[in-house]
Structure 1
Amino acid sequence: MKKLLFPAILISSFISAQAPAGYYDGTTGLTGYALKSKVHDIISQKNVNWHYDDLPNLYNQTDLDKYYDHDATNTTYLLDIYSERPAGPDAYEYTSGQMTSGAGAEGLGYNREHMIPQSTFSTNSDISDYPMYSDLNFLVPVDARINQLRNNYPYGVGGGTNFYIFSNTSRMSNSAIPGYPYTGRVYEPINEFKGDIARTLLYFVVRYEGKLGSFNTAYSTSSTITPSTDQCPFDGTEERAVDLPYIEMLKQWNTLDPVSQRETERNNAIYTIQKNRNPFIDHPEWINMIWSETPDSVAPSAPGSLTSTQQNANFINLNWTAPSDTDILGYRIYVNGAATPSAVTKNTSISIDHLNPSSTYTFTVKAFDKGYLESPFSNTVTASTSASDAFAKDLMIVKYIEGTSNNKAIEIINKTGHEVNLNNYRINIHLKRPSTGNFYAADTYELEGKVGNNESFVILNPNASLSCYSNSQARFVTASDPMTFNGENYVELAYNKTVTIDAIGTRYTTNTNGNVSLYRKNNVNQPNSTFTIGEWDSYPVNYCQNLGVLSATDLIASNKEFKIYPNPVYDDLFVSGDTQDVKTAQVLDVSGKVIYTEKDPFKNKKNISVQNLSTGFYFLKLDDKIYQFIKK
């Protein structure tokens, strides 16, 4: 028995060739946190997120031991990095069917191990948060007993007292990580897998950039650390993400244990299943390139000229000028003198949303740099929201497909008048316990990224076989609990974990939306935390016409590039403005159906004839701009 090794030069060329062509486009020339953020954008797009219960079967594609003990063509045994003996026979082995919940000794079954503990990102002990909960890139099959004893302790270099030494000489010991203030227990893997673990942990902080600040970090670098089973090495920041002494240890592990054939093939298998990759398996050199910032010890100057540029009923736009410092990472926005920021951005403008109408707010901004030093406050701006406006107060569900089997889809639209950060939104569901018939809040699915004004997105079950829509078209694809709903379940769009924004069905009761597609009526322009069936049109099972396609009412332009008149109109609709470049004019009915098209409509005139239209509401589409009018 021996590890399958390739000559170093062959390994290097083999590994570098695995990522699909163009996968890492845009990373050339980047270093530091700019590289980290770009890689985050790449690996977080278009992922397929499977259910936690799917993992045992998926391990047969990602984690078979083809490298140490068995022939690659016929093994059914899993590779357990906590118990593998690279130079000799293993003390025990598992197949994917030998999963267990607990064990009093080694060798009695395996667990699905979250290498970043679940307690770091889950809402509470009863609710697990997808996509993190089932992300194959940091979930591996390991011996149940070792997993239990590792608990939520961090990985690290051990020293002093050994509490446990396991069958392959990995151990639980007191921490001896150089320069790291934590002295509690750590799990130290054998050298063979230290690089694997380092690259996995750093995958996590890149993949979930933008969410790390909401996770349960155990302490900041300035805290007094006491031994605990929940000592997470994260420092609460989004860019650096990990305490510097811990980063240095991971860098050493990355060098000590280079990328292996096993890691490369696992990365390729996960990409096939999940559609994203661990970038540090493809590019281990990026670890040193990203965590290479050398910040100065000088705090940045304050942002200048903070102004309120727009005030609406539920949001206010702010703008400011950047200080002259060259190492600015971002800005923290404070509302009404609060001690903690209400928002963080890398830009010099932002929409502060979830405000109350007819209310007055004060705003101020601080810059922070690569050393996480903060500037003084900017000037303070006071602004008042309006009593009402034409925008939706929040995101809203516009389509709900409850089809046969796994044909489940939800479409959500942003009609708020501004870009919305999705990182604080989630889809929640109530499931029924077979034993009692009672409904309970099940695991949740967290959204991420940003959605522009008048933009919609679809969340789809990956096992769906809808005739009109596929996984590649959806922005979010997940088999998590919320996307296994049936007509009796309550499903909601929530903000900040528990604030209901929009809902399908009624809480804690059996609903009657089975085998039906619900489409929001065109005249409904606000979300509703209380489900009201009168706001929806019902269609047959598996109906999904125009899923992911905005209706004409969704696309009405807010710009003032053209003016149409008269409105209402009898015979001729005139258009004023710079119309000579308009290529196509179309008239659409209220369903979005095109009923008239004219090429180069304003080549020799300024009007569109509508005299043959019936009385009613219509839309005039001029290239990509849409305007509503009434035909008398």
Structure 2
Amino acid sequence: MKKILLPIILISSFVSAQVPAGYYDGTAGLTGYTLKSKLHDIISEKNVNWHYGDLQEYYKQTDLDIYYDHNNTNNPSSGNYILMDIYSEIPNGADAYEYNSTQLQGTGSITAEGQAWNREHMIPQSTFSTGSISNYPMYSDLFYVVPVDGWINQRRSNYPYGVAGSTVYYNFTNGSKIANDATPGLAYTGHVYEPINEFKGDVARALLYFAVRYEGKLNGFNHNAGTTPANDESQFDGTEERAFEPAYITMLKQWNALDPVSQREIDRNNTVYSIQKNRNPFIDNPGWVDLIWSETPDTTAPSAPTNLSVVQQNANFVNLSWTPSTDTDILGYKIYMNGAATPIVTTKNTSISIDRLTPSTTYTFTVKSYDKGYLESPISNSAAATTIASDGFAKDLMITKYLEGSANNKAIEITNKTGHEVNLNNYNINIQFYSGTSYYFSDSFQLEGKIANNETFVILNPNAAFPCYTNSQAKFVTASTPMTYTGVQYVELAYKGFGTVDGIGLKSTSNTNSNVSLYRKAGINQPATTFTVSEWDSYPINYCQNLGTLSAADLIASNKEFKIYPNPVDDNLFVSGETQDIKTAQVLDVSGKVIYTEKDPFRNKKNISVQNLSTGFYFLKLDEKVYQFIKK
């Protein structure tokens, strides 16, 4: 079918904005994976994540077929919305069929092309699902969840996009096909779906958007799900930076060049931005594809990091630091615990908090660096740490406010009182429903980013209309299933799927938290895997005072951070900061045993005498804050 350029007056009603001024600030001069990480930070900030069920309505804005001749059947003013389908559109001929926005149907009842359309995840849901549960925000991201013919979607299954070989299993009406894989350089030998040339760039830019948008989570997705590369359908390689297998990246780069950005993509990018508040950077600047995936790694493994040491030990976490490898192409560091072959975490920094540890337990840590070629260094020196018996920090994140108000007024506040920065990428919000015969967990919302100690954040339903809190103030804005609770459901903060950290209500029962604002009492400083109503104060419907802020007591405490010096120390350990209100100073050995106590230690001085201590590692506990030091 012949492509036509419509008058600007027709498409302007579907375009709300161009690239906002300053949106890509900070990217100038960046290349490679550094640019990719910067773009991730930009497009992941302040998104609005909608419910999967909302997409059908939003497609009336994002995916109208106004770029090809459709026999004058597209008349939005009459309620007739013809959708653009890249799996069936014939650019230079008559389409075999077209879809009205109302013709959404599940795949199970579709038996041929042209019967109904589906919501297609260009990155299959199996990549980021947990069993039968789909995880937001990936589940409903408009940049790669698009309307397509249901029969083709069903035939594509979880097969990757790729270059079709000579054995064709399905030929579809617009020339796209499913065949054996003939993508140069791939070890994969399964089926692939090859779109027509008109839309190969659209596909490539959508997949590369996913690799940027969800950096930090990619290693936790179901990559390399097959037992061998030959039957691995994902083409993700488990890396956060490169994301895909090198040969697959090569193909996506070729597709990006073969099919330049079209006006349809530009308009769709602008419209999705108006709905979702982020953009596909490769539509705004397709040259970034080659600029990012242009690394030319060497073949020499990097040198080992050195001087790994434990700089702070507490009951549930330890802080590590090390001297970086001397190589210039280091991407990051892998931290290993107790001699395990698999790293427990990776970081781009040269220090980290290792949390979720057990009190009074000895751990041993080592570190390896890895470079742009994903070559690993030799292992660092070993550093041992014994967590102390107890401290005043929370053992994990905790829910501190729960708002269930009228209509969509739903908000959850979470606070970090752990004593260290927390990586949120492994945390999610779960919800449990009743089917009429049994209770079950439904789709989940995954958190992302980091939260500093003594900081709090809010998860808000985007349709909320609280009198004292808005979408722009919340860290996460989502209409995902967990944020549609009505007060009768059990809602929880969980770690890595279903490791309960804190919860509202009780599991497998009908709760009574409707039309209420619950605020955690000031004296409660630990999360609870079992909800206890006595830990909460109850307020009227739609009450939201001080949402997203620490209490006055917490703010005062957060400002009282101390520095101890010198470290290592000879005779006197000095403490800087607002020490005048410290009630008790204690010195503990590595087992957590108190060996010295001093009341009001800084009434007339700034130091603690340690001259009688033997050489070794110790802790200085100032009320509820704990610092490690070394006695020479």
TM superposition score category, shorter chain reference: 0.7 to 0.9
Q: Distance in 2 between matches of 1:553 and 1:82?
A: 58
- What's the TM-score, normalizing by structure 1? 0.86
- 5 Å-filtered alignment, 1:535-614, equals 535-555=535-555, 556=557, 557-560=559-562, 561-564=577-580
Q: Distance in 2 between matches of 1:283 and 1:294?
A: 22
Query: Which residue does 2:102 correspond to in 1?
Result: 97
- 5 Å-filtered alignment, 1:374-523, equals 374-433=376-435, 436=436, 438-523=438-523
SS at match of 2:82: coil
After superposition, what is the alpha-carbon deviation per residue over 1:548-574, rounded to whole angstroms, capped at 9, x for unaligned? 121112221342322336979xxxxx9
Q: Distance in 1 between matches of 2:45 and 2:335?
A: 27
Aligned partner of 2:200 among 179, 194, 201: 194
Q: What percent identity do the matched residue pairs reach?
A: 66
SS at match of 1:430: strand
Query: Which residue does 1:83 correspond to in 2?
Result: 88
Amino acid of the structure 1 residue aligned with 2:220: S
SS at match of 2:151: helix
After superposition, what is the alpha-carbon deviation per residue over 1:79-136, rounded to whole angstroms, capped at 9, x for unaligned? 0000000012211111111011121100000000000000000011x21100000000
- 5 Å-filtered alignment, 1:226-241, equals 226-227=230-231, 231-241=233-243
| Residues 400 and 250 (structure 1), Cα distance of their counterparts in 2 relative to 1, 3 Å cut | same
Q: Distance in 2 between matches of 1:577 and 1:43?
A: 50
Q: Distance in 1 between matches of 2:188 and 2:554?
A: 53
Query: Which residue does 2:142 correspond to in 1?
Result: 136
Amino acid of the structure 2 residue aligned with 1:116: I
Q: Distance in 1 between matches of 2:236 and 2:352?
A: 27
Matched, 1:251 2:253: yes
Q: Distance in 2 between matches of 1:485 and 1:343?
A: 33
Amino acid of the structure 1 residue aligned with 2:95: D
Aligned partner of 1:225 among 229, 235, 243: 229
Matched, 1:52 2:52: yes
Q: Distance in 2 between matches of 1:250 and 1:27?
A: 22
Aligned partner of 2:189 among 180, 183, 186: 183
SS at match of 2:459: strand
Q: Distance in 2 between matches of 1:460 and 1:399?
A: 12
After superposition, what is the alpha-carbon deviation per residue over 1:520-550, rounded to whole angstroms, capped at 9, x for unaligned? 0000000011100010000011111111121
Residue 226 of structure 1 deviates from its aligned partner by: 3.2
Q: Distance in 1 between matches of 2:546 and 2:255?
A: 50
SS at match of 1:246: helix
Q: Distance in 1 between matches of 2:149 and 2:583?
A: 72
SS at match of 1:87: coil
Query: Which residue does 1:342 correspond to in 2?
Result: 344
Query: Which residue does 1:42 correspond to in 2?
Result: 42
After superposition, what is the alpha-carbon deviation per residue over 1:334-369, rounded to whole angstroms, capped at 9, x for unaligned? 000111101100000000000000110000000000
Query: Which residue does 2:568 correspond to in 1?
Result: none
Q: Distance in 2 between matches of 1:563 and 1:128?
A: 49
After superposition, what is the alpha-carbon deviation per residue over 1:146-189, rounded to whole angstroms, capped at 9, x for unaligned? 00000000001111111111000100111111111112111000
Residue 19 of structure 1 deviates from its aligned partner by: 1.1
Q: Is the 8 A contact 1:415 1:554 kept in 2?
A: no
| Residues 204 and 567 (structure 1), Cα distance of their counterparts in 2 relative to 1, 3 Å cut | closer
Name whichever of 548-557 and 107-116 sits farther off.
548-557
- 5 Å-filtered alignment, 1:113-132, equals 113-124=120-131, 126-132=132-138
Matched, 1:531 2:511: no
| Residues 576 and 263 (structure 1), Cα distance of their counterparts in 2 relative to 1, 3 Å cut | farther
After superposition, what is the alpha-carbon deviation per residue over 1:43-93, rounded to whole angstroms, capped at 9, x for unaligned? 011000000011111100100000002468746100000000001221111
Name whichever of 185-194 and 230-239 sits farther off.
230-239
Amino acid of the structure 1 residue aligned with 2:57: N
Amino acid of the structure 1 residue aligned with 2:129: S
- In the alignment, structure 1 segments of 5+ residues that lack a partner are 7-14, 569-573, 579-632
- What's the TM-score, normalizing by structure 2? 0.86
Q: Is the 8 A contact 2:396 2:416 kept in 1?
A: yes
Query: Which residue does 1:617 correspond to in 2?
Result: none
Matched, 1:106 2:122: no
- In the alignment, structure 2 segments of 5+ residues that lack a partner are 7-14, 563-576, 585-601, 607-632
| Count of paired positions | 558
| Residues 491 and 301 (structure 1), Cα distance of their counterparts in 2 relative to 1, 3 Å cut | same
Query: Which residue does 1:320 correspond to in 2?
Result: 322
Query: Which residue does 2:565 correspond to in 1?
Result: none
Aligned partner of 1:308 among 307, 310, 314: 310
Q: Distance in 1 between matches of 2:605 and 2:53?
A: 59
SS at match of 1:137: coil
Q: Is the 8 A contact 1:399 1:519 kept in 2?
A: yes
Amino acid of the structure 1 residue aligned with 2:469: Y
Q: Is the 8 A contact 1:356 1:385 kept in 2?
A: yes
Q: Distance in 1 between matches of 2:491 and 2:420?
A: 25
Q: Distance in 2 between matches of 1:547 and 1:160?
A: 60
Q: Distance in 1 between matches of 2:459 and 2:316?
A: 26
Q: Distance in 1 between matches of 2:106 and 2:380?
A: 54
Residue 5 of structure 1 deviates from its aligned partner by: 4.9
Q: Distance in 2 between matches of 1:489 and 1:567?
A: 43
Q: Is the 8 A contact 1:563 1:577 kept in 2?
A: no
Residue 413 of structure 1 deviates from its aligned partner by: 0.4
Aligned partner of 1:357 among 352, 356, 359: 359
| Residues 340 and 55 (structure 1), Cα distance of their counterparts in 2 relative to 1, 3 Å cut | same
Query: Which residue does 1:609 correspond to in 2?
Result: none
Q: Is the 8 A contact 1:335 1:364 kept in 2?
A: yes
| Residues 258 and 537 (structure 1), Cα distance of their counterparts in 2 relative to 1, 3 Å cut | same
Residue 289 of structure 1 deviates from its aligned partner by: 0.2
| Residues 543 and 480 (structure 1), Cα distance of their counterparts in 2 relative to 1, 3 Å cut | same
Q: Distance in 2 between matches of 1:219 and 1:375?
A: 27
After superposition, what is the alpha-carbon deviation per residue over 1:229-283, rounded to whole angstroms, capped at 9, x for unaligned? x601110000011111111111111011000000000000100000001110001
Q: Is the 8 A contact 2:75 2:81 kept in 1?
A: no
SS at match of 2:205: helix
Q: Distance in 1 between matches of 2:413 and 2:263?
A: 41
Q: Is the 8 A contact 2:303 2:369 kept in 1?
A: yes
Q: Is the 8 A contact 2:187 2:230 kept in 1?
A: no
Matched, 1:269 2:285: no
Q: Is the 8 A contact 2:560 2:578 kept in 1?
A: no
| Residues 481 and 577 (structure 1), Cα distance of their counterparts in 2 relative to 1, 3 Å cut | farther
| Residues 205 and 567 (structure 1), Cα distance of their counterparts in 2 relative to 1, 3 Å cut | closer
SS at match of 1:423: helix
SS at match of 2:99: coil
Amino acid of the structure 2 residue aligned with 1:78: L
After superposition, what is the alpha-carbon deviation per residue over 1:10-48, rounded to whole angstroms, capped at 9, x for unaligned? xxxxx9x93111000000000000000000000011000
Q: Distance in 2 between matches of 1:86 and 1:404?
A: 48
Amino acid of the structure 1 residue aligned with 2:531: F
Q: Is the 8 A contact 1:138 1:200 kept in 2?
A: yes
SS at match of 2:550: coil
Amino acid of the structure 1 residue aligned with 2:116: G
Q: Is the 8 A contact 2:336 2:343 kept in 1?
A: yes
Q: Distance in 1 between matches of 2:225 and 2:60?
A: 37
Q: Distance in 2 between matches of 1:342 and 1:393?
A: 18
Aligned partner of 1:146 among 140, 152, 156: 152
Matched, 1:330 2:332: yes
